[in-house]
Amino acid sequence: MDSRHLRKLAKELGITADDRAEIQRILREDDLTAPFPMRGPVSYAKVLLLIDIIQECSLREKTALPIALSCTDPSITNVAASSIKKSCLRRFSAGKDLHERVDHLYSSNDDTIGPFSHKLGIGKQWLGDAHQQDLHLDKDTNICNGLILELYQYLKQIGNHWTIAQQWISRLYPGCTPPPTQTLSTDWKRLQSLRNKHSAIKASKDAFLAAEYKLPQPKTEEDVDDTQVETETSEKKTLPPNNPDKPSTSDIFHQEYDSPIKQKLVQHIRDQDETILKQAEEISDLTHLLNQDQEKLMALKMDYDNILNKNNEVVKDRNVLSYTLKLMETKENSLRAHMTKIISDYNPAKVKKQLHYREQKAKELANSVEIYKQELQEERNKVQELRETVQKEKHKKRNEQKRVYYYKHKVNPLEKMSNDDIKALLKERNALRFEVDHLQAQLDECMEDQCVQTFENGRYVDAVRLVCYDFISRNVGTQHVAPLIRSVVENMMGMKVDRLPKATVVKLMAIEADILARKQAARELLEAENVTLHTDATTKKDRHYYSFQISTNTATYSVGMQETVGSDTATQIEATKELLKDLADLVSPEDIDKDSRPTEYQLLFNIRNTMTDRGPTSKGWVEGLETWRKEVLNENVMPHFKDLSKESIDKLSTINDFYCGKHFILGLADRAKVGLTLWEEDIADYTGPLGMEKLPEFIKWNCQKPSGLRLVRTASELVGPGAKEPHGIPTLYNDFLENSKNYMPQFQHNRFNIVFKASSALYHHRHTLKQLLQKIGSENRLHKAVLADLDSIVTISEVRAMGLLEKHMTTPLSTITSQKEHILDMRHYYDKLQNFLKAMVADPTPIMDGTAVLFMDYPPKKDEIWTSLYQENRTPEEDALVEQLLSILCASFLVALERQLFDFVGGRWHGEVSAGTYEETRSVPRNNDISERDFSGLDRLLRVKNTAKLDFIRGLMIFTHNKTAEALHKMDETRLNLELTSAVKLARKSLAKSKENRAYLKRLRLEGLEEKRRKKEALELNRVKIAQNAVDKISVDGQQKNADGVQALMNKYASTKDKKDALKRQLNFYKTLKIQTIPHNKFYFSSGGKEHTVETLMNNLIFVIGMWNMALNAPSSSTSNPTDQTINMQKIAETRTRINHLKRKLLDEAEDVRVKKAKKSSAKNVVFPGLELIGKTIKHRYEITTKTGRTMRKWYKGEVLRQANTNEMDDASEDDKKLHDEQGHIIFMIHYEDHAHPEAIALQADWESGDVKLEITNSVTVSEDSE
């Protein structure tokens, strides 16, 4: 098949070059989860195009074509590539002649367009020549629909603009003004659709084509005005106001009559006016219902068309099957005739006898074969025995040869030795025997003493210290160490112990263990290169701690933990500097390199990477380290510093910052809370209170939102391992499960993946837990809250959605981040995660049906919980809710992905990295578990040893974590003695320094407390001052308490500035009242850098006054009961618009984060295009307020027409005028698609903030419904 036909097929199917490249990538990488561009029903054209794509990328058709077909249509399986290729090529060759004839017809020079145009003498030459005379038609001759349709088809063939069609109409209808091109295009397309509807019946089609064509008339300005008035009337659902220039009927009567009759007439007219108003409202409501019915009718019509198409396909399949059945019946009849002939030719008795003879012969042969097999097996066994015998003999022979060789070479040297040598050996033997006897005598003397010496030269021996280090690192109490050592020696060895350390000395030994462990880590940091520094922070018992660890290419070590008062960036940097200085002081002189660099800075420059949880201070901390490295980089630190280039200095100063992969999963739990809360708020009108919120005893409670996470937490507290006392019933629930396992984990919100795991486990146990609580029938509030939440379909849907994401996403991702492999390999997994989330936002069906696989090498685990999530009976309402929730959660997760993992999906680690960078970051793990491990140990030790000091606790932890005991056992005796002696000397200094540090921290805490008190007093005075100022200012106009008062206030002032000032005074006054139910943005005077108009400020004030009145008149919560609303499919369908808006809001948030991250990571800022924007389409983001009072940011599409002139600049806002006058910003005239007239706007400020961008195609599509 030639390239011309292939290009034509691709154009007909809408396959672009990018689609071809994407298909080739999917087939090469076997990425079956990616969206396939040619997805849909398979046709011959698609198969031919797929074969061309496979041949282009040099793949095997035998394997690649079936995969491509299954991606195009999943229902196609087990197809042979060769047969389908032959069938398609045969079909193509049959229709090739037809294509050539059609091409010849289009390229022919025939002047005829169609029968209707030929009948009137209209040809291609007449249509193309503007100077042709107009047609002279008879009286009875009309322009019919068939002629117009022929002209429409010819217009599409020649590809000209619709202005040509206007010329044709002006010549067909002399003296008539042709309608606009848009009207003409719409009308001709309407004719074509009508022709298609009449094509089923020939008579109807002919009548339609012969009917007179009615030329559409363009609307006049009056019609347009009337249409606008009618549109506004239908939107407001009120009648238009009367013409002020024309007096009403009531006024005329007032002028001409003054009698009782006049009064009756006036009253009658008023009644009629009211009746007309009511009827207008009813008409508006009926119109609205009619529009809804028309929408439903269109949907049903589309369903009917789809069913009709499917029916046609079924009819075609039935015809094929009928034809196949006839062929099979014909073949069956021929076989039956052949069989009848065979039976007639042979005698049945003879055939039966022959068959019996053959069966006997087959049995005899089978017996012979069985006997032969037995004999063969016996021969094989004999051969195996002979082989084993031969092997044994060979082995004996080798042993004998080795023995002969040994004695041959051993005897010969002895024969060569002289008598003097023999005498020397004998003398040495006697000396060794004497030494053995002497040592035996000493041993006997020691055993007679029966006492172990533990104290020499004013201190305990090294062996005692090593034992004490081991005991205290294993959490043995300091007062129990000496008794345990004594018991072991006396009971195991039968000896007495001279002297053992007391508890206070053991505590000091814990500080020695801390020094030894940190010295070990300091040596590793000194010797290794490209080290990764870990850090984390936590607050325990009102004390703030920083922990530090290092990772090399071979191991990880804890290097320190410090207590601080502050938690800001400066405090963290100072803690890091102090840490490196302490480690430098611990390094022995023999560990320092010959280059005599300061050890503190040598340790600093060995750190090449960092691993954090990306907390509020992490970024500033990394930047502070880079600044410190740049400041200390000189000749003393780096030899040949003057010879280094600026690029080399920048590289030495730069640190590779990485983010913990497991903390990203922890962040997904927070994003799940955000997404679920927004979803519950959007559908609150349809659901009402959820679960426990309906119960009277919980009405006054501030129930946690969202309800799904609330149920996960309360259920874990009820039946999980960490059940809440005394309300938990874990033992009873385990007994109730009988042979089943309780999968509910202990709920700790700061543990990785715990929220998702608890959700899947709860969905698995929901029925049994509900049954148990119903049997108990307890009045316990925790029991009642869990039971009520289990009865809520919305809450259970949230739990199931979280459980499905645990199986498909969070658990595989957690497994990957736990692997001890290179962290830069994670960029491939994060790319797949990003594409997966985008695809699930658009269509979560793969998760719903269980076919989604995020990572092919880490598929979902299919266990009992998987079965509960997918195979148990569920309602259609639950499935519909879960499908909505999956889209919302995935959209919310995209925000966390763009915010926390931008370096991997769009930043510096995205794409290919150099071999040097890959080697430089080899020591970086994929997670920050080592920091979490240290804090877990700190938490445990603070509970067990609540009065212990930090240096004691740190010694217990890092001595165990660094496995310092093993390192000490590997040292020789001399080096071990030096290390322990050094630790003993430094322990006293460390103890004194810790005491001074505790006193310093105490003083800082007291000073901070006093500073907080002063700030609080100043803040209270400022608040009172602001409130008094607001009261003084509002006294000018008085407090407005309703909408009428606000309107009267507006009528009081004439200028826009005075109105704004009056509204601002009112808003500032109500702001001081601190009404919690009012959103903060209602008190703002501007949004998005643009000042609010008078209308916006007035609407905000009316909303605030309404909420204030509601707060004053709110009924007591104890007297109101929440209404119970049942969820059904109709209500779920009604929430579709809100859900789409919520998805779009979350996707916009993710896009905002991506834009901001891209700006920060980019080395150069994007330059504002200026006048180059003219003629281009842009997207401009504004902050708007919805009908529900919620603020959201929305993109508007517009076309930049030109630069505004002097008169047009007057329509610009005050802010834009100020930017133009002071900073020279250009003001453009922009026509937005939702506005009737162009607007004057300065774009540069919004461009630099990311709120203006050129129109691009987004990969995630969400249906847009009107607000």
CA dist list (Å): 726 to 1, 329, 709, 710, 930: 79, 78, 22, 19, 35
Instruction: Give 240: exposed, middle or buried? Use CB within 10 Å, 0-12, 13-18, 19+.
Output: exposed
pLDDT in tens, 1003-1022: 888 888 888 889 888 888 88
pLDDT in tens, 134-159: 555 555 567 888 888 888 777 777 66
Q: Is the pLDDT of residue 131 over 60?
A: no
Q: What is the mean pLDDT of the chain?
A: 79
How large is the average pLDDT for residues 653-662?
A: 88
CB 1234 within 8 A of CB 1199: no
Tokens of 620: 């500033």
Higher per-residue confidence, 57 vs 1187:
57
pLDDT number for residue 601 = 83
Instruction: Give 445: exposed, middle or buried? Use CB within 10 Å, 0-12, 13-18, 19+.
Output: exposed
CB 706 within 8 A of CB 798: yes
DSSP state of 492: I
d(CA 1225, CA 1228): 10
Angle at 370 between CA 367 and CA 374, to 5 degrees: 140
Contacts of 184 (CB under 8 A, 6+ apart): 162, 165, 166, 169, 178, 216
Q: Is the pLDDT of residue 895 over 60?
A: yes
pLDDT number for residue 945 = 83
Contacts of 598 (CB under 8 A, 6+ apart): 584, 636, 637
CA dist list (Å): 663 to 506, 556, 614, 926, 1171: 38, 19, 9, 11, 45
Alpha helices in 973-1042 (DSSP H): 973-1034
Residue type at position 581: K
d(CA 277, CA 270): 11
pLDDT number for residue 548 = 93
How large is the average pLDDT for residues 313-328?
A: 82
Size of the chain, expressed as the number of residues it contains: 1267
* Least-confidence region, from 136-145, 287-296, 348-357, 815-824: 136-145
Residue type at position 627: T
pLDDT band at 1261 (very low <50, low <70, confident <90, very high): very low
pLDDT number for residue 1127 = 63
pLDDT number for residue 1167 = 67
How large is the average pLDDT for residues 339-343?
A: 71
Q: Is the pLDDT of residue 722 over 50?
A: yes
Higher per-residue confidence, 488 vs 130:
488
Higher per-residue confidence, 937 vs 1267:
937
Q: Is the pLDDT of residue 249 over 70?
A: no
* Least-confidence region, from 55-59, 74-78, 581-585: 74-78
Instruction: Give 800: exposed, middle or buried? Use CB within 10 Å, 0-12, 13-18, 19+.
Output: buried
Q: Is the pLDDT of residue 590 over 70?
A: no
How large is the average pLDDT for residues 84-92?
A: 68
pLDDT number for residue 236 = 39
pLDDT band at 1264 (very low <50, low <70, confident <90, very high): very low
| Tokens 């003054």, located at residue | 258
Residue of 1216, 1136, 1140, 1208 lying closest to 1180 (CA atoms): 1216
DSSP state of 135: P
pLDDT in tens, 458-497: 888 888 899 999 998 888 888 888 899 888 888 887 777 8
pLDDT in tens, 1021-1054: 888 888 888 888 888 888 888 888 888 888 888 8
CA dist list (Å): 716 to 440, 574, 724, 740: 66, 41, 9, 17
Q: Is the pLDDT of residue 918 over 80?
A: yes
Give the residues across from 1228 on adjacent strands. 1203, 1241
pLDDT number for residue 1130 = 67
| Beta pairing class for 1177-1185 and 1090-1091 | unpaired
Most confident of 405-419, 446-460, 866-880: 866-880
Residue of 610, 670, 608, 662 lying closest to 826 (CA atoms): 662
Taking residue 903's Cβ as centre, other Cβ atoms within 10 Å add up to 18
CB 826 within 8 A of CB 27: no
Q: How far apart are the first and last CA of the chain?
A: 51
pLDDT band at 448 (very low <50, low <70, confident <90, very high): low
SS3 656: strand
Higher per-residue confidence, 640 vs 763:
763
d(CA 708, CA 691): 10
Tokens of 724: 């809440």
pLDDT in tens, 834-893: 999 999 999 999 999 889 999 988 999 988 999 899 876 778 888 889 999 999 999 999
For the chain, give the percent of residues with pLDDT over 90.
9
Q: Is the pLDDT of residue 130 over 80?
A: no
How large is the average pLDDT for residues 674-691?
A: 82
Q: Which residues of 632-660 are buried (b: 16+ CB within 10 A; e: fewer)?
A: bbeeebbeeeeeeeeeeeeebbebbbbbb
Residue of 538, 844, 829 lying closest to 665 (CA atoms): 829
Taking residue 189's Cβ as centre, other Cβ atoms within 10 Å add up to 11
pLDDT band at 93 (very low <50, low <70, confident <90, very high): low
- The beta-strand segments (E) located in 801-888 are none
Residue of 886, 873, 880 lying closest to 686 (CA atoms): 880
Q: What is the DSSP string of 504-557?
A: HHHHHHHHHHHHHHHHHHHHHHHH-SSEEEEEEEEEETTEEEEEEEEE-SS-EE
* Least-confidence region, from 325-339, 801-815, 836-850: 325-339
d(CA 922, CA 1097): 58
pLDDT number for residue 1080 = 82
pTM beyond cutoff 0.75:
no
SS3 563: strand
pLDDT band at 1120 (very low <50, low <70, confident <90, very high): very low
pLDDT number for residue 443 = 63
Tokens of 1183: 């902050």
pLDDT in tens, 758-779: 999 999 999 999 999 988 887 8
Tokens of 1072: 């001081």
3-state DSSP: the chain helix, strand, coil percent, rounded to 5? 65, 5, 25
pLDDT number for residue 514 = 92
d(CA 769, CA 776): 11
Q: Is the pLDDT of residue 229 over 50?
A: no
Instruction: Give 253: exposed, middle or buried? Use CB within 10 Å, 0-12, 13-18, 19+.
Output: middle
SS3 607: strand
CB 927 within 8 A of CB 660: yes
Higher per-residue confidence, 1100 vs 39:
1100
Residue of 1079, 1257, 1135, 983 lying closest to 679 (CA atoms): 1135
d(CA 354, CA 360): 10
Q: Is the pLDDT of residue 1055 over 70?
A: yes
DSSP state of 40: S
| Beta pairing class for 607-612 and 531-540 | parallel
Tokens of 616: 């509020």
Taking residue 33's Cβ as centre, other Cβ atoms within 10 Å add up to 16
Tokens of 625: 């380290």
pLDDT in tens, 506-528: 899 999 999 999 999 998 888 88
Residue of 1063, 1070, 1073, 1072 lying closest to 1104 (CA atoms): 1070
CB 1244 within 8 A of CB 1225: yes
CB 839 within 8 A of CB 39: no
d(CA 1040, CA 1047): 10
Compute φ and ψ for 1184, nearest 5 degrees: -125, 165
d(CA 1132, CA 1139): 10
Write down the number of H helices and E strands in the chain: 49, 16
CB 628 within 8 A of CB 604: yes
pLDDT in tens, 295-307: 778 778 777 877 8
pLDDT in tens, 428-438: 878 887 777 77
pLDDT number for residue 552 = 92
Contacts of 37 (CB under 8 A, 6+ apart): 15, 19, 22, 23
How large is the average pLDDT for residues 956-974?
A: 89
Taking residue 318's Cβ as centre, other Cβ atoms within 10 Å add up to 10
